[in-house]
Amino acid sequence: MSNAMNLTQEQAEKLQAAEAIIEHHFGRPQLILSAITHPSATEGKSVKYSYERLEFLGDSVLGTIVAGEAFHRFADLDEGGLTRIKVALVSGTSLSDVAAQLGFADVIVFGSSETGTGKRGLHSALENVYEAVVAALYLDAGMDAARTFVERTLIPRMSIAMAHEPENPKSALQEKLQEDGITPTYKLVETQGPPHDRTFVAQVYAGEKGLARGIGRTKKEAESQAAKSTLERLGDFFGGFMPDKEKQAAKKEAKREREEAARRVKEERRAENEQRRNEKKQERLQEKKRKQDA
């Protein structure tokens, strides 16, 4: 196999290890090799040689499998409850945890740009590889093969409790904090990994008080994870309630930030209007010049 595909020793060993974890021998080994290959290892090559395209397909296949399982397992749940289960189960944190437990961290083929960096972005890489593996199984052996893998590795984590988790943690946190007149804000505190595989770290603030942090492949996901962690630990941050002095300070800071945001919007609109006026002025001058030249 390695000669036919011109695999390096590392690729051949990791491909074999991946097949053992997945419990499937691939008739098209290039599929699983791509599924476990980080984009940093394919610089200068077609995108098909890393997991990027496969994760796109895998996301849809995985969603279909999870949605179908939830639909049949929980016959009394409404659409909202089923959606919350699906969102919780296919979240980045859930998939990366499962992939790590399976041992995928040891089979990912990284490029030299990732060497010595402590595998920056490993969290997102594990999630991506899991989705790509689902797609590889689907393409190699059909939906049944993909479903068998998901049912063995991910579905055991499914529970009715997930139906009660907030579908939108940011909205749930805002609703909770606004009981005390506070609007939470989010700040990007760290960006990890190379440009092609960014991982973002965001933190929630109540006024100037920093709350939980979250990590994600996008800023939105990082903020959502931060909100979810904050909801789970409100007692740790506020002892079950917010002291009046701290509450007033948080309100004041939230008001200041809203006013600052409104000021920035106003300034941006003023600059845009000024730019449009200048453009129209230039157009009139050019039109006048064309007429004079004619």
Give catalytic residue positions.
59, 131
> Exposed, middle or buried, 198 (CB in 10 Å: 0-12/13-18/19+)?
middle
Contacts of residues 40-47 at CB distance under 8 Å and 24 or more positions apart, as own/partner, are 40/110, 40/111, 40/112, 40/113, 40/114, 40/194, 40/196, 40/197, 41/109, 41/110, 41/111, 42/111, 43/111, 43/113
Cα gap 91→287, rounded to integer Å: 57
Cα gap 228→206, rounded to integer Å: 14
CA dihedral 254, 178, 237, 207 (to 10 degrees): 0
- The DSSP string of 149-190 is HHHHHTGGG--GGGGGS-SSHHHHHHHHHGGGT---EEEEEE
Q: Which residues pair with 185 in a beta bridge?
A: 205
Give the relative orientation of helices 219-232 and 92-102 as an angle to the nearest 10 degrees.
90
